[in-house]
Amino acid sequence: MQLVAVVDYGGSNLRSVAKAVEFVADDRHEVRITDNPTDILNADRVVFPGQGAIGDCMGRLVERGLITTLQECLRTRPFFGICLGLQSLMQTSDEDGGVACLAAYPGFVRRFRADAGPNPDGTPRKIPHMGWNQVKWSKPHPLVAGIASGSRFYFVHSYFVVPDDDAVVMGRTEYIDSFVSALATGFVFATQFHPEKSATAGLQLLRNFLQWDGTV
């Protein structure tokens, strides 16, 4: 049986993520919420969800001794980052006055512009970006099999990633500006949106992740 570790750094939303993964899992997968570095390193695949502020997230990862654990997992097994689990992969974030992240990829995290005009229908563009929006895939990948480009997913965020290398960009979304809403390279797939809140398309993404061996 394969172990799927859902990383517990003390944040919220862990239970809903674990329940969504369990829903699409079969009897070959055990889903375990854990903050134990040994459990995480022994897992066959890792899900790193996150909500809230990046400063709290990184601080709790340090307290739990999970920084090097996650950096190792990013290199060695299928890894799915969600929301802060995507933002934490960059070098730094502008949030909380500037925060050092996992530095898995060159790039940074930026806040949406506050000076954006209204939507085409006249309604204001609010921050945070909250609700359903389209994601257009930038390249093929096993995790998006059966999910059309332009499918809608659920977002809740005020910050977005700006990777230095366009080759890692997996998906883009339009809100105020075009921003990177998914990243994929090596063993890593990460999304700004929440697949566990994204109905059929989100569940298919998680189902594909459980079947993925890390090759593209």
Give the tens place of pLDDT for each residue, 110-154.
Answer: 999 988 777 778 777 889 999 999 999 999 999 999 999 999 999
Q: Does the pTM of the predicted model rise above 0.85? A: yes
* H or E, element range at 190: strand 188-191
Conformational region of residue 207, where left means phi above 0, alpha means psi within -120 to 50, and beta covers everything else: alpha
Whole-number average pLDDT of the chain:
95
196 catalytic? Reply is yes
- The residues spanned by each domain of the chain are 2-211
For 85-107, the pLDDT digits (tens) are 999 999 999 999 999 999 999 99
Q: What percent of the chain has pLDDT over 90?
A: 88
Any idea which fold 2-211 has?
Answer: Rossmann fold (3.40.50)
29 catalytic? Reply is no
* H or E, element range at 170: strand 169-175
SS3 of the chain: helix, strand, coil, percent, to 5: 30, 35, 35
Q: Which of 129, 141, 157, 194 is catalytic?
A: 194
57 catalytic? Reply is no
Q: Which of 57, 83, 141, 157 is catalytic?
A: 83
